[in-house]
Amino acid sequence: MRDFSKGKRVNSSERFVADNHALLQHFDLSRNKSLRTLETTGASINTADDTASGFLGTILSSATSPAPLDLVVIYGDSDFGVMSGHFRCKPNPDCSCHVSAETRKYRTRVIQKQFRVFREVHSVRAFRLVLCADVFDCMVERAMKTLGGVVEAERVEGGLGNLCEPLIISERRSLRTTRLGEFQIGSQREWPSLGCAL
């Protein structure tokens, strides 16, 4: 088992150990007895890249809640290749008209790559993985298919490891009263303005 709390994973440099300690000081879950769900976004995992598993693993290493834990990863429209300029879609059961086949393949690979993070974090603290499509209604079907395809591909390749069967859901997790063009929280390291206060 990897011990994220002591910073033994991901380089053994002093810098990482120091950051890890600060992270634990900051996000200390040891006193929380009722935590059932840790949520994050696919976009922020992508952006954080190599540090995502260290971040999530370190925080979860401090969790002492006896309740089973869900790790909910939220995927927005952009995770499926729908960008801000495409929000005026006409009623259509499938927004694949906005996303090319190449883009869909690329996005699928990007999500699939995140399973490495999930496996590493799972080695620190067991959880049920929940993949949540938080997308426009017209994108729900496409998003669910994509997520299902990712899980299936991982299963075939043996990439699920010790992860139990991931749950795939479609749910509105973020309020959307703002324009799509605004940034999502955590999707960029330097986030220039508020995206969604409400």
Partner 1 sequence: MRETWPRPLQNSYDLGLLPFVRRLRIRLGTFDDTKFTPEWLDRRTLHYLSALTNLQELGIDHLQVFSFMPNIQQYFGYFSPTLRLLALKEPRGSCRQILYFIGLFPNLQDLHLHCLLHNDEQESTVDATLVPLSAPPLRGQLTLTFFAWEGLVKDMITFFGGLWFRSMELFRVTCVRLLLGECAETLETLRLYPTDPYGEGFLKREEGELK
Query: Measured from the CB atom, is 95 or 135 closer to partner 1?
Result: 135
Residue of the chain from 3, 13, 22, 155 that contacts partner 1 (CB under 8 A): 22
Min dist CB 75 to partner 1, Å, is 14
Q: What is the DSSP letter of 6?
A: G
- In angstroms, what CA-CA distances link 134 with 72, 142, 172? 11, 12, 5
Q: Is 156 in the site for partner 1 (CB under 8 A)?
A: no
Amino acid (1-letter code) at residue 96: S
Q: What is the DSSP letter of 121?
A: H
Helix (H) or strand (E) holding 82: none
Residues 68 and 3: their CA atoms lie apart, in Å, by 20
Amino acid (1-letter code) at residue 186: G
Q: Which of residues 26-45 bind partner 1 (CB under 8 A)?
A: 26-29, 31-41, 44-45
Size of the site for partner 1 (CB under 8 A): 38
Give the HSE-up count for residue 132: Cα atoms under 13 Å, Cβ half-sphere. Answer: 18
Pattern 52-81, binding to partner 1, x per CB under 8 A? x--xx--x----------------------
Binding footprint of partner 1 on the chain (CB under 8 A): 22-23, 25-29, 31-41, 44-45, 47-48, 51-52, 55-56, 59, 177, 185-189, 191, 193-194, 197-198
